[in-house]
Structures are given as structure tokens and as C-alpha cells.
Amino acid sequence: MGWDLCGIELKTPLVAASGPLGWGEEFFEIFSTKGLGLFIPKTVTFNPKIGNPPPRIEETIGGLINSIGLENDGIYKWLKLEPLYRSLDIPVMASIAGSTLDEISRLGEIINNLDYIVGIELNLSCPNVKGENWSNNPNSIFEATESLRKVYNKLIFVKLAPKDNPVLYIKPAIDGGTDGLTLFNTFPASRTINGGLSGYAIRPIYVRLLKEIKDKINIPIMASGGVFSASDVLEYLNLGASAVQIGTAFFKDPDIAEKIWNELNVFLKS
């Protein structure tokens, strides 16, 4: 059984969300792609970013707050991972972020020439980096998406923040030319650090938001938020998602994708 994501054939509907597995070097030295249909490496920016000062991660009841701040070594270091991404038996989609429209365009121009990358997830919604959370403003969403669309001719998914009245923020991405949507990024939260909340606690909120847009949006969606089991995946699929991202669960169990896929197969065959 294959899964179609905007013309990209996936072995399973499970996606390794951008972030928890880094750029994949260490993870795929030890663990396989079993259970996964798509890998999205940690978000890359044009220039290296040092990220936020520690502490960066705090556990909460039912979740995890992170304030990493898009730390990464920049696009030119990321390009050196071509052999790794070509060696994987699943497609790879880049995740990018920029603090200006020019940075987004320059990243798109570079990645447009990479035949081993099937698409771009445009991260407009990092909750813990000043200047990079475009998704607070519908007009900014449109401008950023349009800037990438002008230079990038393959698959684009725009990753948005969880918002009440989500269609207000989704429509500008569609108007800007996105092919699909990643819904949603982590939920802004604060305890001893300010950052994004992920994990079990956010899933009921995201389910509510997806129910709200279910009959109003007709482009593919990758659902994200609090996925730890096959029943979590099925709930998102039944709400119209084309694929489902796994994130925080990898910290609990690096083999979680294979386990969820095996469990999901039982549901699908019954």
C-alpha cells in the first residue's frame, strides 16, 4: 500500500518531523528508516545560527518545552550531507527558515537544483526565534510563500503556528502558492523558559483546529502534534491529513516509527 503526498509516493504515511532527529547524521548511523515514509531534517537557515542560550529544554506534565532557536550550521554545511540523503531509502524534504524574504529566496534557489530533495517545508512558525515567526501575520505568510514559489518549482509545504481561526492564516499560504500545509508547529508556552510546547498535551488542541478546517481546506495536510501511537495517527488521517509527522516521541523511543507503523497496519487491515 503506497501513500501519495502531492505526487510523492511514500511507503507509509509517517513522517520524521523537522527537529528531533537533527540533520540525520547520528540517527541514521544507528537506526533505520523502518516505518517512515519521509524524512524532514532540522530546519536550515542561510547563515549558521548559534541558537538560544541554555537552558533550552524543559519537561512538563504531558509535554516538552524547547527553546533551541533554530541552531544549525547553515546551508553550505547542510549541502555536504548529500551522500547521506541519497543513501536513504525514503524521500527527503528540506526544512528552511529565513529572517528576510531574500534569505528565503536564496535558500529556495539553492535547493531547487538538488534532485535528491523532493520538496521544501517552509518553516514560518518557530515560536522561539525573534524575526522568524512569520505566521503571526497573514500578509507576511503570503509574502514569504510567494517569495519561495517564485524561485522553487517543486513541492512546497508551509508550516504554520496553531492559531484560533486558522483559515485566516492558511489562506495566505495557499494564495502565495504552497502545495500543502504542515499543521501545526509547537504551541507557544512558558515555564522557566519561553519556547514551544510539544508532546501529548497539545494533541487535543490540534485535533480541534483540524476539525475546524476539515471542510474548508482542499490541499494536502501533514498533521503534527502529540503523535505517540497508531490511534493518534488514525485520528489525524480521519480528519483528512495525507501524512502524519512524529516528533517528540522519538526522544522517548528512537524506534517509534516502526512500532507505530506495525500497529497501524493491523488497524488498516482489519
Q: Cα-flanking dihedrals φ and ψ of residue 174, to 5°?
A: -65, -45
Q: Cα-flanking dihedrals φ and ψ of residue 244, to 5°?
A: -135, 130
Q: What do you get for the CA distance between the two ends of the chain, in Å?
A: 14
Pick the closest to residue 52 from 66, 64, 69 (CA basis): 69
**List of residues 6+ apart from 35 with CB closer than 8 A:** 12, 14, 255, 256, 257, 258, 259, 260, 261, 262
State the burial class of residue 263 (Cβ atoms within 10 Å of its Cβ: 0-12, 13-18, 19+). Answer: middle
Task: Tell me whether the omega of the peptide bond preceding residue 184 falls within 30 degrees of 0, making it cis.
Answer: yes
Compute the chain's Rg from CA coordinates.
17
Could you list the active site residues?
126
